[in-house]
């Protein structure tokens, strides 16, 4: 396909998913709300032909920011799905949730700084600085929240409390941990008795796409159970950690955060604004701490169980996102490139898959367990 035709088709998708020239939904019907990292990538694309609209996409995300600085992975649209989904999350139970907009209670990969800088590159110097000034405080507050609440040991790595926070929903490392340590009894019974098909009637997602392209009903029920447990703790990280809920130091998320920190430093420098001392110290620790996720025997970066402190040695595209972090040694970067080139690992005849081709988890159709995604290839 001609590149111009492809770009024109991509624009038409965004036009169709545009909502009131304020935000963009990822997909009609299937994803009816505004999602954090989806909107960041959408803004990165929009900046090439409509900078003000790209800026609005980011500002729309910030309307959902919590009082403690958290930016949720979803800001709910006022559609028919609004009441159902806001009631599912009940984020209003947490005093930090905004009063004027309904959101989820968790976050998503921190692509915000990347999107802000990419938009800034399209602006003249004076306008760029004005743009950076407009978003600087909310961005700082978000990074502060990540290190204050999600790095309780002050080590430089942040933890996640739900696979949805990775953006790679059913990615193998998380599904492995879920089935090994956090699968509730009632889901196990449904699986053993093969009753999962009875729940398909209630699955809205498979009304819009083929079931083979989505996660299994068992996995979805297990993820719902994790979300339900978080809701019962009102998304309070102290209560969550006190009850040893499902927590992982995710390699992909931390790699993205390290890159975001670099962008935040650039923004602060451009507008001559100091970063808070505590945040500056956490950002300094992050690059060194990331190396603790390296396994010399496998020659890969892995996510780590926060409670047991053990690496989750299940390969996924997360190991390659260490390249995006921009902080690893040349030797390790060269090793990552070899993994990209190996035809039995990530060197497919199509853009990089989300799971290695030689993995027992690889499924060419299933969501984040094999298919190519724009986010990770970008």
Tell me which residue of 276, 51, 247, 80 sits closest to 149, measured CA to CA: 247
The vertex-117 CA angle with 115 and 119, nearest 5°, equals: 70
Helix (H, G, I), strand (E, B), or coil: what is residue 349?
coil
Q: Tokens at residue 183, please?
A: 């699968």
What radius of gyration do the chain's Cα atoms show? Answer: 20
Query: Which distant-in-sequence residues (6+ apart) come within 8 Å of 254 by Cβ?
Result: 157, 158, 286, 289, 290, 293, 325
Question: Would you call 15 helix, strand, or coil by DSSP?
Answer: helix
CA distance 266 to 247: 31
What does the alpha-carbon distance between residue 139 and residue 187 come to, in Å, rounded to a whole number?
Answer: 39
From residue 233, alpha-carbon distances to 93, 94, 95, 164 in Å are: 9, 9, 12, 17
Instruction: Provide the pLDDT for residue 52.
Output: 98
CA distances from 344 to 25, 280, 357 (A): 35, 41, 6
> Which residues, 6+ apart, have CB-to-CB distance to 278 below 8 Å?
144, 147, 148
Q: Give the mean pLDDT per block of 10 residues along the chain (378 residues).
A: 88 93 90 94 97 98 98 89 82 96 97 99 98 99 99 98 96 95 82 79 74 83 93 97 91 99 98 98 98 97 97 98 97 96 96 97 94 94
Query: Is the whole-model pTM more than 0.75?
Result: yes
Domains of the chain in start order, with CATH, are 3-377 (1.50.10.10)
Can you tell me whether residue 148 is helix, strand or coil? helix
Q: Which pLDDT score is estimated for 261?
A: 99
Alpha-carbon distance of 214 to 163, in angstroms, equals 15
Burial class (CB in 10 A: 0-12, 13-18, 19+), 200: exposed
Q: Residue 176, exposed/middle/buried by CB under 10 A (0-12, 13-18, 19+)?
A: middle
> What is the predicted pLDDT for the residue at 216?
87
Yes or no: say if 140 and 116 are a contact pair by the CB < 8 Å rule: no
Asked if residues 300 and 319 have their Cβ atoms less than 8 Å apart, the reply is: yes
Please list, in sequence order, all residues whose beta carbon lies within 8 angstroms of the beta carbon of residue 320, skipping any fewer than 6 positions away: 336, 339, 340, 346, 352, 376
Write down the pLDDT at residue 201. Answer: 66
């Amino acid at each position: 396909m001609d590149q111009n035709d492809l770009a024109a088709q991509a624009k038409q998708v965004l036009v169709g998913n545009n909502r009131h020239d304020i935000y963009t939904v990822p997909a009609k019907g299937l994803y009816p709300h505004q999602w954090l990292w989806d909107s960041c990538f959408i803004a990165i694309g929009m900046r090439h032909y409509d900078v003000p609209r790209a800026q609005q996409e980011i500002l729309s995300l910030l309307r959902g920011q919590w009082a403690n600085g958290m930016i949720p992975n979803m800001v709910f649209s006022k559609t028919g799905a609004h009441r159902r989904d806001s009631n599912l999350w009940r984020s209003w139970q947490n005093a930090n949730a905004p009063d004027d907009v309904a959101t989820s209670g968790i976050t998503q990969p921190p692509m915000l700084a990347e999107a802000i800088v990419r938009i800034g590159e399209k602006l003249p110097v004076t306008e760029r600085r004005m743009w950076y000034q407009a978003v600087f405080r909310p961005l700082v507050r978000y990074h502060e929240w990540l290190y204050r609440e999600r790095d309780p040991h002050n080590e430089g790595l942040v933890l996640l409390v739900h696979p949805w926070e990775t953006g790679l929903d059913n990615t193998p490392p998380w599904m492995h941990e879920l089935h090994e340590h956090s699968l509730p009894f009632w889901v196990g019974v449904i699986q053993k008795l093969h009753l999962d098909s009875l729940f398909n009637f209630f699955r809205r997602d498979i009304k819009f796409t083929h079931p083979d392209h989505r996660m299994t009903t068992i996995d979805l029920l297990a993820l719902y159970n994790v979300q339900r447990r978080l809701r019962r703790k009102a998304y309070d990280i102290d209560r969550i950690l006190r009850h040893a809920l499902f927590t992982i130091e995710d390699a992909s998320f931390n790699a993205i955060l390290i890159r975001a920190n670099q962008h935040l430093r650039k923004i602060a420098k451009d507008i001559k604004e100091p970063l808070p001392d505590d945040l500056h110290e956490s950002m300094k620790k992050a690059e060194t701490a990331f190396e603790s996720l390296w396994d010399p025997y496998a020659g890969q970066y892995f996510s780590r169980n926060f409670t047991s402190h053990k690496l989750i040695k299940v390969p996924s595209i997360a190991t390659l996102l260490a390249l995006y972090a921009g902080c690893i040694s040349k030797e390790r970067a060269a090793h990552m490139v070899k993994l990209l080139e190996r035809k039995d690992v990530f060197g497919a005849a199509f853009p990089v898959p989300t799971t290695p081709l030689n993995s027992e988890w690889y499924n060419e159709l299933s969501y984040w367990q094999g298919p190519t995604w724009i986010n990770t290839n970008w």
